[in-house]
Amino acid sequence: MTSHRHLALLALVLVGAPVRATDGAERDQVLVPAGEFAPLLRSRDEPERVPVASFWMDVRPVTNAEFLAFVRAHPEWARSRARRLFVDSQYLAHWAGDFELGPAAPPDAPVVYVSWFAARAYAASWGARLPSIAEWERAAAVGISTDNARTDPAVAEVMAGWFSRPNEGPLPAVAGGAPNRLGVHDLFGLVWEWVEDFNTALVTGESRADTGLERNLFCGAGSVGTRDNTDYPAFMRAGFRSSLRAAYCVPNLGFRCVVTP
């Protein structure tokens, strides 16, 4: 991964083709076509639908083996060396050591216990970035057996199974299930994923006393004003994202990269 730093990605035009760097390294990505994102929660001033330009997205989350290669190339991100401003005490807690995965972190399983800062650093090493909420949700709006994830019984079955299981490690390998119709794996039912703007719904103060809050986004007003109050997975994602801080490292939160064409 050392040579992957400062990569200039070649422009590709074929859907499903890997993004290839100038040194020959590749990331398997698919081109997500331009579309729209309908926010679950929105303020009075925000539109019902947000246009999303096309972008390249990893077909699966980043694995332990891939993140280990990054850490070896960037030892400042090793578990014992990463600055506590950027990671909490659980950073890569499931690894056996700074440069050793161990039995709790299979090489082909998604890397977790990584902070937003660490995920961004990994993406930048590839000349990539984290997806925005709009981009991630745009890709996840496409189902496995139908084009609409919200009404896709295959997605509902995967999500119900995931939500009903305790979070016990080690995690299974990435891309173990069926991809959605864009060819993207693991958007449903493996791990939560960091997004670039995860904190856009953060409460800045105590919600009952903060006069600056968009009150229609919280508590009962928030649930009444949602786009679709039956979209349980979207509620879960919104709630989880709003609970995070950038240095948090938790056992079921990974990430993937995107590239702007």
pLDDT at 4 exceeding the cut of 50: no
Q: Where is pLDDT greater, at 53 or 205?
A: 53
- For residues 207-226, give the mean pLDDT: 58
* 14 vs 137 pLDDT, higher one: 137
Task: Give CA–CA dist 256/258, Å, rounded.
Answer: 7
- The model's confidence at residue 7, banded by pLDDT at 50, 70 and 90, is very low
pLDDT at 203 over 70: no
How many other C-beta atoms lie within 10 A of the C-beta of residue 150?
18
91 vs 206, more confident: 91
**Span 244-255, average pLDDT:** 96
Q: Which residue has the higher pLDDT, 48 or 214?
A: 48
Identify the pLDDT of residue 122: 97
The residue among 48 and 83 whose pLDDT is bigger is 83
Return the higher-pLDDT residue of 207 and 122.
122
Percent of the chain with pLDDT over 90: 62
What is the phi/psi pair of residue 9, to 5°? -85, 135
Distance CA 60, CA 28 (A): 8
Q: Show the 3-state SS of 150-185.
A: HHCHHHHHHHHHHHHCCCCCCCCCCCCCCCCCCCCC
184 close to 59: Cβ distance less than 8 angstroms:
yes
* Residue 163 scores a pLDDT above 90: no
On the question of pLDDT at 221 being above 70, the answer is no
> CA 170, CA 238: separation in Å to the nearest integer?
25
Choose between 37 and 22: higher pLDDT: 37
187: nearest Cα among 249, 256, 114, 246 = 256
Question: How do 253-254 and 192-193 pair as beta strands?
Answer: parallel
pLDDT at position 45, please? 75
Quick check: 14 pLDDT over 50? no
The string over 196-222, giving b where at least 16 C-beta atoms fall within 10 Å of a residue's C-beta and e elsewhere, is bebeebeeeeeeeeeeeebeebbeeeb
Q: What is the pLDDT of residue 238?
A: 86
* Res. 148: pLDDT tops 50: yes
Region of poorest pLDDT, from 103-117, 134-148, 228-242, 247-261: 228-242
Q: Is the pLDDT of residue 17 over 80?
A: no
